[in-house]
């Protein structure tokens, strides 16, 4: 029997510009359809760093050009926009690759909201830079008018920073689950999901935040009772002492071993560390669950146990 797999695509699987993305998703689709062809049910989540930055920069320029006509676009809306156009390219590439192989499966993108806690400590310490560089005068104006948090960025100017809270729950999980049960290939939780929190009644309010796509993928995989979470990155395996003469690639890790290496500072924050942390959370979340960290083109071999770093109890 096939497995139920959630795949977390990194930026290298999507490119940074519109032309790059259109080319990249064709390669990405081939690797994903390999897994589908082997009989697995696949759900895809993805990052959106370059894409949401491009959208926000464009909206900011529009606001600067015509300040009397336009106001800054909320970050949650920019994330929604990125989900739409990434999903558009990705689902079309998947559909084409499936049909080329004679596989008739529906592919659909779900505009996905992810609930966060407004009391999450991350909101008190925003650290994630977004948007275009600004002069000090421009930054001061946004602080005064919008209450933005800004930082000076390595002498290149000022940038807005936002929180990166932990994901609590996926709002559209029932719809996603129904689609998976019906045999569809689903793209969900793009960019880590549109961050929202609950206000009075049933209202969901967008948050000025970004959610790490690996942590969101972990919540998605748990919520779908997936067998495996594949976190794709730029290396075939996780390493300790990375880049040093005594570098060691890791094939198998228990959650405890992974945490010990993380505590020793073996994994770079903002790079491999959140991937390992998300993998550990998933591996611990239920019996028989395995997380795999590897290259996109090695995903099929990784699921077969031939490569990648596998984290499981």
Q: How many CB atoms lie within 10 A of CB 76?
A: 19
What is the rounded CA–CA span in Å between residue 282 and residue 221?
Answer: 8
> Which of the residues 2, 12, 57, 206 is marked catalytic?
12
Which residue has tokens 């992974």? 258
- The answer to whether the beta carbons of residues 75 and 210 sit under 8 Å apart is yes
Chain Cα centroid distance, residue 123: 19
Q: What angle do CA 231, 232, 234 make, to 5 degrees?
A: 140
**Catalytic entry in 49, 128, 131, 191:** 128
Contacts of 206 (CB under 8 A, 6+ apart): 74, 75, 76, 77, 194, 195, 196
237 a catalytic residue: no
Residue 133: C-alpha distances to residues 129, 137, 138 (Å)? 10, 12, 9
Is 84 annotated as catalytic?
no
* Residue 54 burial (CB count, 10 A): 19
**12 assigned to active site:** yes
Told to judge if 213 belongs to the known catalytic residues of this protein, a careful annotator would answer yes
* 102 part of the active site: no
Task: From the candidates 49, 87, 131, 213, give the one annotated as an active-site residue.
Answer: 213
Would you call 299 helix, strand, or coil by DSSP?
helix
What is the Cα–Cα distance from 83 to 59, expressed in whole angstroms?
Answer: 16
Catalytic residue among 10, 11, 47, 131: 11
Residue 3: CB atoms within 10 A of its CB come to 15
> Which of the following is catalytic: 237, 275, 302, 308?
275
| Residues taking part in catalysis | 11-12, 128, 213, 275
């Amino acid at each position: 029997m096939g497995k139920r797999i959630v795949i977390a695509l990194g930026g290298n699987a999507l490119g940074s510009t519109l032309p790059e993305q259109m080319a990249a998703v064709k390669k990405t689709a081939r690797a994903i359809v390999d897994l589908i062809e082997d009989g697995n049910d696949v759900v895809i989540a993805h990052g959106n760093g370059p894409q949401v930055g491009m959208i926000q920069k464009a909206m900011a320029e529009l606001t600067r050009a015509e300040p009397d006509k336009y106001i800054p676009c909320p970050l949650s809306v920019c994330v929604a926009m990125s989900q739409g156009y990434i999903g558009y390219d990705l689902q079309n590439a998947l559909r084409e690759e499936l049909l080329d192989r004679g596989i008739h499966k529906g592919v659909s993108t779900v505009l996905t909201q992810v609930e966060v806690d407004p009391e999450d400590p991350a909101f008190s310490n925003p650290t994630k830079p977004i948007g275009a560089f600004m002069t000090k005068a421009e930054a001061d104006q946004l602080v005064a008018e919008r209450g933005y948090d800004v930082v000076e960025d390595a002498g290149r100017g000022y940038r807005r920073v936002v929180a990166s809270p932990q994901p609590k729950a996926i709002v559209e999980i029932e719809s996603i689950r129904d689609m998976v049960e019906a045999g569809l290939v689903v793209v969900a939780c793009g960019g880590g999901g549109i961050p929202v929190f609950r206000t009075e009644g049933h209202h969901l309010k967008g948050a000025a935040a970004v959610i790490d796509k690996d942590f969101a993928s972990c919540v998605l995989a748990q919520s779908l009772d997936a067998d495996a979470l594949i976190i794709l990155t730029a290396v075939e395996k996780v390493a300790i002492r990375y880049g040093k003469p005594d570098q060691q690639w890791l094939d198998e890790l228990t959650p405890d071993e992974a945490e010990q290496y993380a505590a020793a500072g073996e994994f770079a924050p903002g790079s491999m560390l959140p991937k390992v942390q998300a993998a550990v959370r998933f591996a611990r979340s239920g019996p028989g669950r395995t997380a795999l960290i590897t290259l996109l083109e090695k995903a099929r071999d990784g699921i077969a146990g031939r490569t990648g770093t596998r984290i499981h109890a």
